[in-house]
Amino acid sequence: MKNHYYLAIVAVVFTNILWGLDIIAIDYMTDYMSASAVTLFRLLCGSAALLIILLIKEGKLHIERADWPRVFISGALGLTIYFWLECMGIHRASGSLASLILATVPIFGLFADRILYKNKITPVKAIGIVASIIGVAVIVSGSGGAELTGSFSGILLMFAAAIVWTSYIVLMKPLNQKYSVLTLTTAIMLSGSVAAIPLFLMDNPRTVMAFPLRGWVILILSAVICLALGGFTYIFGVSRLSVTKVSIFENILPIVAILASFVLFREMLTVIQLLGGAIVLISCTVVSLSSDEKAGAGKEKSVDCSKVSYETE
C-alpha cells in the first residue's frame, strides 16, 4: 500500500507539471481562438483518444445509470466551468493576483476533508498549506512587473474557480472505488465535452476558422498529452490521496511556469523566485508525508461518503 501511496504522489506531481506546461499552450491557442472553442475542441480530442484506448482495453464504457449525474456534474465543473471561470477571472484580475487566489485551493480542500471525510485539521497540514501559499506569494513577488490588481468581480470569479475545482475533486473521489481510472477519466471527459458545447455556441464559433494549422497540431498534442494523460494520472492520484494532499500540489504550478519560461524563453530566474519555489516544495512534501488521522478516533478507519470509502495513508 505504501508503494501505491507514493506512486499516487508522483502521479499528482507529474499531472501538475503537465498542466503547468499546458498553460503556455493554452495562452498561444487563445490568441487565435476563443477560450470556449479551445476548451471544447481539446475536450473532444482528449475524449476521442481515451475512448479508443478504453474500447481496445476494456471493450466498452460502462457507468451505472445512477452514477451518471455525478459523473456529468464532475466533468462540467472540473473541465468546463472551472476553465471558463479561470479565463474570465484572469481577464478581470492580474495574473499575479489570480495565481495567489488559486493558491488557496488547499484551504478549501482542508475543510472538505474535515467536513466530508472527518480528517483532522492538524497543525502540520495547516502550517504546510499556509507556507505553500506564502511560497506562491514569494514567487509572484519575484516576477518582474508583478501587480496584485483586479476588479471585485475578477476576485470573485477566481475564488469561485478555486471552490469549483475543490468540488470537482470531492465529487469524483467516491467514484474511484467503483470504476477503473481509465473508465472514469473517459466518462468525465466526455461529460465535460457535452457541457462545453453551449458555452462554445454562445461565444463566437467563427473564431475557429482563423485557427492556423500549427495551432491545431498544438491543440491535439495538448489534448492528448496534457488533458487526457494528465486527467488519467490526476484521477489515479485522487483515488489514493486525501483531498488536502491532492490540492496542495496545485501550488507547484507557478514553479513549473517559471522553469518553463527559463527553458523556453530564456527568462532569468531570480533568487526570490527560487526561494519561493523551495518553500512550496518543502510545504508540499511535509503535508504529503503527514498522516490523515480521523477526528474523534485514535486509529484509522474508513469513512462513509456516498457509501464509498477511500484509503488513507
Structural domain of 244 = 2-289
Residue 95 lies in a domain: yes
Which residues, at least 6 apart from 286, have a Cβ–Cβ distance to it below 8 Å?
Answer: 124, 128
User: pLDDT tens-digit profile of 197-244?
Assistant: 998 998 877 778 888 899 999 999 999 999 999 999 999 999 888 888
Which ranges in the chain belong to alpha helices (H)?
2-29, 35-58, 68-75, 82-92, 95-102, 105-117, 123-141, 152-172, 181-202, 213-221, 230-238, 243-248, 253-265, 271-289
| CA–CA distances in Å: residue 216 to residues 39, 107, 134 | 13, 37, 38
State the pLDDT at residue 20.
82
User: pLDDT tens-digit profile of 245-279?
Assistant: 898 998 888 888 778 777 877 777 788 888 888 99
β-partners of residue 119 are: 294
- As for how many domains the chain has, the answer is 1
Mean pLDDT across 58-74: 94
d(CA 132, CA 152): 24
The answer to whether the beta carbons of residues 86 and 136 sit under 8 Å apart is no
Q: What is the DSSP string of 71-99?
A: HHHHHIIIIIIHHHHHHHHHHHB-HHHHH
Residue 298 lies in a domain: no
User: pLDDT tens-digit profile of 293-308?
Assistant: 776 554 434 444 444 4
Residue 258 lies in a domain: yes
Residue 303 lies in a domain: no
The mean pLDDT of the chain is 84
Place of cell 476521442: 48
Residue 213 lies in a domain: yes
Residue 311 lies in a domain: no
Sign of CA dihedral 233, 229, 185, 116: positive
State the pLDDT at residue 292.
73
The answer to whether the beta carbons of residues 62 and 239 sit under 8 Å apart is no
State the pLDDT at residue 210.
81
| CA–CA distances in Å: residue 257 to residues 21, 74, 135, 254, 278 | 7, 27, 14, 5, 14
State the pLDDT at residue 144.
59
Mean pLDDT across 127-133: 91
pLDDT category of residue 64 using cuts at 50, 70 and 90: very high
Q: Is the pLDDT of residue 287 over 50?
A: yes
State the pLDDT at residue 150.
67
State the pLDDT at residue 1.
61
State the pLDDT at residue 262.
78
Place of cell 492580474: 94
Residue 305, Ramachandran bin (φ over 0: left; ψ between -120 and 50: alpha; else beta): beta
281 or 141, which is more confident? Answer: 281
Burial 172-181 (b: 16+ CB within 10 A, else e): bbbbbeebbb
User: pLDDT tens-digit profile of 76-115?
Assistant: 999 899 888 877 777 676 666 777 788 888 888 888 888 8
User: pLDDT tens-digit profile of 135-194?
Assistant: 888 887 776 555 556 677 878 888 898 899 999 998 998 898 899 999 999 999 999 999
pLDDT category of residue 32 using cuts at 50, 70 and 90: confident
